[in-house]
Structure 1
Amino acid sequence: MTPQPPGNRDKDAGRWSDLERPPLSETALRRALLRPGALWTSLDVVTSTGSTNTDLAARATKGEVTEGAVLIAEEQSAGRGRLDRRWTAPPRSGLFFSVYLTPRVPMSRWGWLPLLTGVATAAALARSAGVDIALKWPNDMLVTVDGTERKTGGILAERAGDGVVIGIGLNVSLHADELPVPTAGSLALAGARGTDRDPLLRAVLRSLEEWYGTWQDAIGDPAASRLQETYAAGCATLGRSVRAELPGDAELLGEAVAIDGDGRLILATADGVQQPVAAGDIVHLRATGGGYSGQSE
């Protein structure tokens, strides 16, 4: 093929020529992660897609993938978080991927999967990037940038086929002027010792495989697998005054005091009642002269 002069190159090619953000190597990742007896059974890297969760869930529903399928996108145009919030970032600036799991534990314990994924991801990034990741119940990952908590990642779990698709979005190399909102952060802004996505992704998937295996060996018991205590130790929500924005436009104020055996957040309200919250949007609050105000989304 005759090389094109710079002025004649396809405009889209320029989007993928950022040397600071090299592309992931599908071949190298497969070689490192797909091995006999491993959890991960297939791995695909796509240049761009709307949502890896949507794509992998569609494949799972059609029976086209088995447990351990991994789908990674260099760029997502319609990445989704909880409450259908959108997650966007420049190409190759983060890790955007989904995995398909079919837990062999009682379905009543599947609600622990987003929390397990948070624990596994935080542990992996502490080792591989040297960044302390705090977990905001139920599925956000926070870093500290200039003394302020910032959201650097999120987790979304959805039923599909006979199992669950778990999506992870993680800001890795975003600069301050690239952040979608002021409350966002990235591993780079939090002082990560490296932003090469290849070793970071390998570390996260290996940590997830380890935690998932331990949890399954314990038949999904969060206490026996030490998942419950480990999550609580890394949860930035516990010990905070919070506002739980509940389904149906209700809300509940209280202090987050525990994570129970079902993965629910326990709030101690002003009237002395301990109220479990199974689903909802949690806002961390800080004291002000007239009461409380939101500290983070």
Structure 2
Amino acid sequence: MTDAFTEQSENTQIQIGISACVLGEKVRFDSGHKISKFVTKELAPFFNFVPVCPEVGMGMTVPRPTIRLVTNEERISLVETKDATKDYTDGMIAFSKSTVEGLKEQELCGYIVCAKSPTCGMERVKVYSKAGASKEGIGMYTDILMKEMPWLPVEEDGRLNDPVLKENFISRIFSLRDFYDCMGDQPTSGKIVAFHSRYKLTLMAHHPDSYKELGQLVARVADYDSAEFYQLYRLKFMEALTNRASRKNNSNVLMHIQGYFKKWLSSQERQELRKVIDEYREGLLPLLSPLTLIKHYLSLYPDEYLQNQKFLDPHPQELRLRYSL
């Protein structure tokens, strides 16, 4: 683990919102929880969790009747499953807006929500109507959270079992924390330009079109005041990272990196690196393999630009997120 990651961990600087039940709190309608061992055992050393249960937060009891989302085509409401006259919509909206407003002041860097929940679900939440149920809804609290903080990485607990989704989510969290750290107490256009330079290869891996768009945005930095540029860049940067880095894009970035060593590597070393990159591209090796070899060559032939690229170390190695990608 790098010194920066160690410092973040020790100081619990990385604030992560989370559905309280996923953290193990017994706040569900049946007095149970949905604890995630990945969250509590593997992520806990790196993050400071901010637990929220919207239902309990707005005043509902534990245990309590089940609730669900219903629609009459004009609006979506949050009501009790067995008694639709008991409507919690206004209370949930008020609680959600107030809570999210408070979270904005904490420099939150991510949020883990409970899947399928009518308040916390991120996608495919059931919405009932006279025609039946459709899985096209978003939990009422999470919907407000994502609209009010569109730059924030949000993921469901169950989807974190997917290694690709998990790596993407964790990478976004550390990238956003890095952004805030680089800005300090006084964000400036110059700080953002310097930050962008360190993430060029990361953006190329995640979404080449966004890499070009953000490059054009940075080139026009003089057209904006610092506050406006800060807000716009943060949003566009985090939107770009929601695109998962593909094996093809990663391979192209690795080949791009290889070019920096062409003056230093022997013909045999270049062939070896190319072979490892090709085997990664074909799915025979994990991303960790070519990266390990590149880091070895980088230790022998230092290059300031490459050494500063976050693509090489987007998160602590202890999380073992690139072993299966």
Using the size of structure 1 for normalisation, the TM-score is 0.28
Higher strand share: 1
Whichever of the two has the greater Rg, that structure is 2
| Structure with higher helix content | 2
TM-score w.r.t. length of structure 2: 0.26
